[in-house]
């Protein structure tokens, strides 16, 4: 006997439901694999978080998203990145650790699906007040590593005024699990980088203090080099590299006798030969430090000239690394502008004229043009700011994390 038509229809619908569930599960697995692959490509938070949120937005179609990091020592949570309306106002917002839905998510390590946040007593209306947005449907999931919540992610107001569903929460939670390890590694990398850069700052300061004529020189040329690199459109990673290389450029002067290094007048030919050893000395000092392999090359080549008349290898043109070509120009700029025992520093107009005259000789013409495009006032601001600061923060954050629209 054939099954009743009603039973057949129920069986068909159940098969379709199971098929849809399998397709959805496969799509979710593929998405998580895709996100995981993307997250493994960088440990820089500035690159990592926007990449993560682009993937999340494609999956959840949220009006806005935010990522919060927890400071358990000071019991604060801070929005590290945000997208959507008013993102610029939310990013950087700091709250007590136990405040709001995001605070509940972190302290209780609990994933939450809120149908209407306006009806939830835990909802902090501070974000709504600074963005002008009204939060209704909300997903909030913790980022947990080793039993500790390092932060949380939120997705706010699904597109077309639809409510988030339990399946959205499950997907968001799975994404958070994938992201938590990478974010933890990125945070550890950032802390290590900050500590490492502080060491470079201290070393460069010590070198400048040993050379009585050039105190503050390394800090200034590092900042100048980064600004010139920005002018020709170098990416953030290259700007970080430029600053490290600039801070280390004169490390070879450790091997130059004080009598020559601090001589109050022009050097004799023999003394100049000794001084010209410092690029090779610096290069040799940095050998074996794998993390500074590119910087080592700049230490070696920062005294080369575009026309081939520099030292120590008489390289010319594009055989000289770009970073060294950038640095050579701003190094000369700082030298002209700085006081020496045998002369006073000269004004910007004189320095700009000398640099323009050396286009195609000491300096690459393209870089001279870029230097002259930067307003005099910008160079003055950099110089003035470094004159009143012991260190600069540009190493740890060469450019602010861009506020997403």
123 close to 100: Cβ distance less than 8 angstroms:
yes
Q: What is the mean pLDDT of residues 289-314?
A: 91
pLDDT digits (tens, 9 = 90+) for 318-331: 999 999 999 999 99
Residue 99: burial class (beta carbons within 10 Å; 0-12, 13-18, 19+): middle
Dihedral sign from CA coordinates of 301, 302, 303, 304: positive
d(CA 320, CA 304): 7
Say which DSSP state 163 is in.
P
Beta 94-96 vs 112-114: how paired, if at all?
unpaired
Nearest to 304 by CA among 361, 355, 222: 361
Any idea which residues carry the catalytic annotation?
A: 253
Rounded to 10 degrees, what is the CA torsion of 17, 19, 25, 30?
A: -150
79 close to 108: Cβ distance less than 8 angstroms:
no
Reduced to 3 states (helix: H, G, I; strand: E, B; else coil), residue 143 is: strand
226 close to 398: Cβ distance less than 8 angstroms:
yes
pLDDT digits (tens, 9 = 90+) for 70-120: 888 889 999 888 888 888 888 888 889 888 888 999 999 999 998 888 888
Band of pLDDT at residue 398, cut at 50, 70 and 90: very low
Task: Count the residues in the chain.
Answer: 405
């Amino acid at each position: 006997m054939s099954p009743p038509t009603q039973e057949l229809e129920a069986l068909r619908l159940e098969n379709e439901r199971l098929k849809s569930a399998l397709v959805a599960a496969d799509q979710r697995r593929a998405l998580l694999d895709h996100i995981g692959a993307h997250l493994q490509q960088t440990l820089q938070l500035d690159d990592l978080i926007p990449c993560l949120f682009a993937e999340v937005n494609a999956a959840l179609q949220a009006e806005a998203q935010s990522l919060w990091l927890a400071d358990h020592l000071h019991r604060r949570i801070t929005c590290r990145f945000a997208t959507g309306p008013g993102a610029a106002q939310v990013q950087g917002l700091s709250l007590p650790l136990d405040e709001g839905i995001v605070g509940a998510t972190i302290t209780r390590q609990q994933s939450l699906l809120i149908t209407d946040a306006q009806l939830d007593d835990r909802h902090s209306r501070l974000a709504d007040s600074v963005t002008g947005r009204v939060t209704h449907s909300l997903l909030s999931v913790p980022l947990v590593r080793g039993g500790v919540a390092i932060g949380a992610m939120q997705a706010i107001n699904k597109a077309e005024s639809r409510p988030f569903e339990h399946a959205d929460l499950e997907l968001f939670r799975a994404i958070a699990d994938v992201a938590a390890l990478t974010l933890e590694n990125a945070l550890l990398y950032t802390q290590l980088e900050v500590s490492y850069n502080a060491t470079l700052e201290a070393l460069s300061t010590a070198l400048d203090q040993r050379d009585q004529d050039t105190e503050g020189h390394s800090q200034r040329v590092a900042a100048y080099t980064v600004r010139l690199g920005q002018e020709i459109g170098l990416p953030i990673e290259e700007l970080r590299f430029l600053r490290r290389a600039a801070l280390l450029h004169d490390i070879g002067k450790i091997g130059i006798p004080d009598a020559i290094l601090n001589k109050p007048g022009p050097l004799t030919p023999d003394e100049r030969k000794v001084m010209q050893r410092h690029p090779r000395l610096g290069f040799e000092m940095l050998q074996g430090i794998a993390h500074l392999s590119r910087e080592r090359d700049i230490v070696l080549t920062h005294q080369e000239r575009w026309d081939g008349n520099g030292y120590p290898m008489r390289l010319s043109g594009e055989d000289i690394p770009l970073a060294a070509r950038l640095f050579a120009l701003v190094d000369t700029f700082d030298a002209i502008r700085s006081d020496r025992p045998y002369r006073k520093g000269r004004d910007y107009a004189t320095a700009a004229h000398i640099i323009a005259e050396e286009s195609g000789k000491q300096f690459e013409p393209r870089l001279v043009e870029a230097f002259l495009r930067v307003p005099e006032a910008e160079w003055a601001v950099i110089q003035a700011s470094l004159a009143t600061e012991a260190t600069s923060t540009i190493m740890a954050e060469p450019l602010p994390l861009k506020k997403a629209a």
